[in-house]
Structure 1
């Protein structure tokens, strides 16, 4: 009896390898997009935290509410170079000293000055952040924008007029806006 054994030809092996490589490239690209989306989600969570942080600070210092921002908006990009009196407890500072400390500490947080690596410098915060605080009577709006890794195919046209006043345009700018009332 003679058995005829057929194996894979070289062409079948090459076609199989091409299909495998194309599949692996697709999986690799999916992994990259997933990582970028996860990072942008993390940045959005940080922006939410920073906006709520300053709102909570404002709630604890209501008598200075109008000095945290203005009806036209007060823009914050980095903390002042002079460190104000540290207020670890509201009873140790006057309301104006607490205002200065709140703004200094908040800005240090969102630009990353409070998280520092010996090799890389600032590692926390958001990349190229800008924040605006609008205070109109008891209505408060906080807008935070930052630079991200991917282009965003939208403009700030669909956002509120306050976002537009904060000058948040750019293909890679992300925007987080929160409105509340403080009494």
Structure 2
């Protein structure tokens, strides 16, 4: 009726050894999983840093474009906008031109005060407006790495320099 199978002692020992996981295999699996999780954490941190950098660059672009629009809107006194500005100078009360009528000189002071306030949105935000050959260059600088750097040469390869964005406009 039925067949009886006999196994040798050697075959039984090999069969028992191949069942389950050994401690070494479990430790290797945990090590591989840990390295993978560290990679995911590093990727998340890098993604967050790049997202913050892009946000600051977008804000700087908006701030520079806004000042270019202000210079074009008040072009009869555009030379009055030339200068270096720092976010720390924000908060000076130059009056508001929103509710009252301002002359062009008051508008310049109002525009600069609002621009300084916008520069506060960037870490160590600074602005500069220069003019050459009838063109105005508007530069926004900020401390992207938040390491208290102060260099203003705008060299992206020099960690001592602030990050810069410049646009040129004609009033």
Q: Under a length normalisation based on structure 1, what TM-score does the superposition of the two structures give?
A: 0.74
For residues 167 and 26 of structure 1, what CA distance do their matches in structure 2 show? 31
1:141 aligns with 2:151: no
**2:111 corresponding residue in structure 1:** 102
Aligned to 1:118: none
3-state secondary structure, aligned to 1:85:
coil
SS state of the match for residue 132, structure 1? Answer: strand
> What is the distance in 2 between the residues matched to 1:32 and 1:108?
30
Q: What are structure 2's unaligned runs of at least 5 residues?
A: none
Unaligned runs of 5+ in 1: 112-124, 157-162
In the other structure, the counterpart of 2:160 is 171
Asked if the contact 2:72–2:170 (Cα under 8 Å) also holds between the matched residues in 1, the reply is no
1: CA distance, partners of 2:155 / 2:23: 61
**TM-aligned CA deviation for residue 171 of structure 1:** 3.3
Structure 1 residues 59 and 42: CA distance shift in structure 2, 3 A: same
Once the two structures are TM-superposed, the CA of residue 48 in structure 1 deviates from its matched residue by 0.2
Aligned-residue offset at 1:173: 2.0
How far apart are residue 106 of structure 1 and its match? 1.0
Deviation for aligned residue 1:172: 5.9
Shift in Å at residue 135 of structure 1? Answer: 2.0
Question: Compared with structure 1, are the counterparts of its residues 27 and 167 closer, same or farther at alpha carbon in structure 2 (3 Å cutoff)?
Answer: closer
Cα offset, 1:81, TM superposition = 5.1
CA distance in 2, matches of 1:30, 1:150: 20
Structure with max Cα Rg: 2
Measured after TM superposition, the shift of residue 66 of structure 1 is 0.5
Q: CA deviation at 1:82?
A: 3.4
What's 2:51 paired with?
38
Whether 1:88 aligns to 2:102 is no
Measured at CA, do residues 9 and 26 of structure 1 come closer, stay the same or move farther in structure 2, by a change above 3 Å?
Answer: same
Q: Note if contact 2:91-2:113 (Cα within 8 Å) is conserved in structure 1.
A: no
What is the 5 A alignment of 1:26-65? 26-65=39-78
RMSD: 2.7
